Amino acid sequence: GENVEQHPSTLSVQEGDSAVIKCTYSDSASNYFPWYKQELGKRPQLIIDIRSNVGEKKDQRIAVTLNKTAKHFSLHITETQPEDSAVYFCAASRGGTSYGKLTFGQGTILTVHP
Amino acid sequence: GEEVAQTPKHLVRGEGQKAKLYCAPIKGHSYVFWYQQVLKNEFKFLISFQNENVFDETGMPKERFSAKCLPNSPCSLEIQATKLEDSAVYFCASSQSGGAVDYGYTFGSGTRLTVV
């Protein structure tokens, strides 16, 4: 089955700096890659996603890049703010009998210091 | 409504007792997914439904876990004879026809199960 590895497990930055979180996946049939933000005690919230037919997607301060050949994708947050502090999860999904099922990475605890 | 409603928010059970969790998907969403998030944050897929039919149950520990989605009722996840390692937050998510790839998920707020 699919395996998603996420790094780093913790990331500490100063307000205004950029943060980058990287994920690799094992299943070349995966075609959907969402990123979730989870605050303490809350539900995961989708912040951005990318499908396998594009290499990059941007939404204000957040961008995701995908390299299908290397089977890795990354989340980039620019101009970080203290409210960006949370746990971030990458995930991967494919079609077929696993349609809709997400395999999550291990999570990255991001701390943005004022 | 536009929220996935999970009940109860918290559940405490003694080891060996039964636990039953409920999830009402967003109206019009055909797919329901259950995930277990343990203390180390990792999400484990348990089971998915397409309407009332099991779609993918590859993550279910079948000997003690069962789940149902019946028409006109909330979906349920039941754990018979709970064990300490079942302590986790259980999230339900729903999506429109087409699954996560086409429309994305909406997660419920989760049920925190504590087995003592």
In the Cβ-directed half-sphere of A72, how many Cα atoms lie within 13 Å? 11
Distance from A17 to chain B by nearest Cα, in Å? 25
User: What average pLDDT does range A20-29 have in this prediction?
Assistant: 96
Nearest neighbour of A100 by CB, restricted to B33, B40, B91: B33
- Show residues of chain B in contact with A32, CB under 8 Å: 100-101
Spatial CB neighbours of A98, under 8 Å, sequence gap ≥ 6: A1, A2, B56, B58
Nearest neighbour of A100 by CB, restricted to B31, B40, B108: B31
CA distance A93 to A27: 9
CA distances from B113 to A19, A23, B1, B32 (A): 33, 29, 25, 20
Residue A97 has pLDDT above 80, yes or no: no
**Given pLDDT bands bounded at 50, 70 and 90, which one contains residue B98?**
low
User: Which one is predicted more confidently, B28 or A21?
Assistant: A21
**Given pLDDT bands bounded at 50, 70 and 90, which one contains residue A99?**
low
Average pLDDT over all residues of chain B: 91
**Given pLDDT bands bounded at 50, 70 and 90, which one contains residue B101?**
low
Question: What is the pLDDT, as a whole number, of residue A38?
Answer: 96
User: What average pLDDT does range B103-113 have in this prediction?
Assistant: 88
User: What average pLDDT does range A46-52 have in this prediction?
Assistant: 90
Question: What is the pLDDT, as a whole number, of residue B2?
Answer: 82
- Show residues of chain B in contact with A106, CB under 8 Å: 40-42
CA distance B107 to B32: 10
